[in-house]
Amino acid sequence: MVREEIFGPVLVAMTFRYPEEAIELANNTRYGLAASLWTENINLGLDVATKIKAGSVWVNSTNLFDAAAGFGGYRESGYGREGGREGLLEYVRPKGHGRPSPQLAAEPDKNWGKRSYGRPSVGGNPLVNGIDRTAKLYIGGKQARPDGHYTYNVVNPKGEIIGTASEGNRKDIRNAVEAAHAAKGWADRTPYNRAQILYYLAENLAARADEFAHRLAKMTGAKVKAAEQEVETSLSRLFTYAAYADKYGGTVQETTLYGLVVALHEPVGVIGIACPEEFPLLGFVSLLAPAIARGNTAVVLPSEKYPLSATDFYQLLDTSDVPGGVVNIVTGGRDHLTQTLAGHDDVDGIWYFGTAEGSRWVERLSAENMKRTWVNYGQPRDWLNEAEGAGAEFLYHATQVKNVWVPMGE
């Protein structure tokens, strides 16, 4: 009666000893549509309202609705909002984006995401200063060897082996998700602090811009000038979202209520991000930066073909005060690892930029625990274009809206 959604009239009364216990009891459910909070201490009431995981929180009131304020839930109460600007966004697309019309078979491909691990390669790996180096995974702020001890060769367009990357599996995803949950205190930091860390990250990338550009050129076969442009645009993305870290907190809703209605933009939680194959550094940064700027933690699957920019990037994370577990990087078969993320009940959202078939499977697997999904159905995106590679669309998917209603007067 307490934890399940019962459509009344049913009233369940429980005691609690202190506010923290009340918050723990209130959040101990899979659902989070709305909550009603009663108190004589408005300071305490507002503090508790921000910690309850529900889409609407009514303070000293209940069942208040208005078309100007979006209504919808958290977790398994579903995502999306009805009413307000948030509700309108569910029915529109960014300017210049066509409606996806993928050519899909009637039945999903049952082999999607399956992966067979080959035998470890012997010889042929490039040496770094005479050392045979394999890029590790990055989990919980530490470099980690893959659970299965498998690796794969990273090959440039000419067929030359330029590096070796780790091949992650479902256990590595499990460890990464646990590390991301352990780092949820990142959302409690002040937006100013998160902004400063992102600025610091950008500064450290700028200091190693030439190194990253030459890595991109060698890995993808792009000209050095094009690789330098990708690094410069990645720097721009970090500065953009560092600026947004303390400027996308929410709005005051104008409703018929005599009182204050505040729409808070809260983090989604743990987001799994499957990056595109193209633009291995820029696609990685353009998706990671908005997620962590707004307080989420992330499990990132970089480009499967060209993962070495992402594995170099974790050295920047180590030296830029990013707490361990905020960013976790797992290399390997992107679709295979995405399949595990999409089916994981402790992941709150999935961003997938891959094939149309992969997009269909992500939405299908995520339905079980009502994850928020953002997929591209195989449509390419111009990551160098500011209108397509940055901005409010990314921040919208990195946040969920909570409306706090506070009546005023006697």
Residues 103-137 as b/e (b if ≥16 CB within 10 A, e otherwise) read eeeeeeeeebbeeeeeeeeeeebeeeeeeeeebbb
Beta-ladder partners of 48: none
Residue 120 has pLDDT above 60, yes or no: no
Considering all CA atoms of the chain, what is the largest pairwise distance in Å, rounded to the nearest integer? 79
Residue range 365-371: mean pLDDT, rounded: 90
Residue 14 has pLDDT above 60, yes or no: yes
pLDDT at 346: 94
Domain locations in the chain as residue ranges: 19-89, 132-246+267-398
Instruction: Tell me the pLDDT of the chain averaged across its residues.
Output: 92
The label of the residue with tokens 């299908």 reads 364
pLDDT at 103: 84
pLDDT at 118: 62
pTM: 0.93
CATH number corresponding to 19-89: 3.40.309.10
**pLDDT tens digits, one per residue of 232-249:** 999 999 999 999 999 999
**pLDDT tens digits, one per residue of 151-209:** 999 999 999 889 999 999 999 999 999 999 999 999 999 999 999 999 999 999 999 99
pLDDT at 3: 79
Residue 380 has pLDDT above 80, yes or no: yes
Residue 115 has pLDDT above 60, yes or no: yes
CATH number corresponding to 132-246+267-398: 3.40.605.10
- 155, 308 contact by CB (below 8 A): no
From residue 400, give the alpha-carbon distance in Å to each of 141, 178, 312, 396, 397: 26, 22, 31, 8, 8
Bond from prior residue into 9 cis (ω within 30 degrees of 0): yes
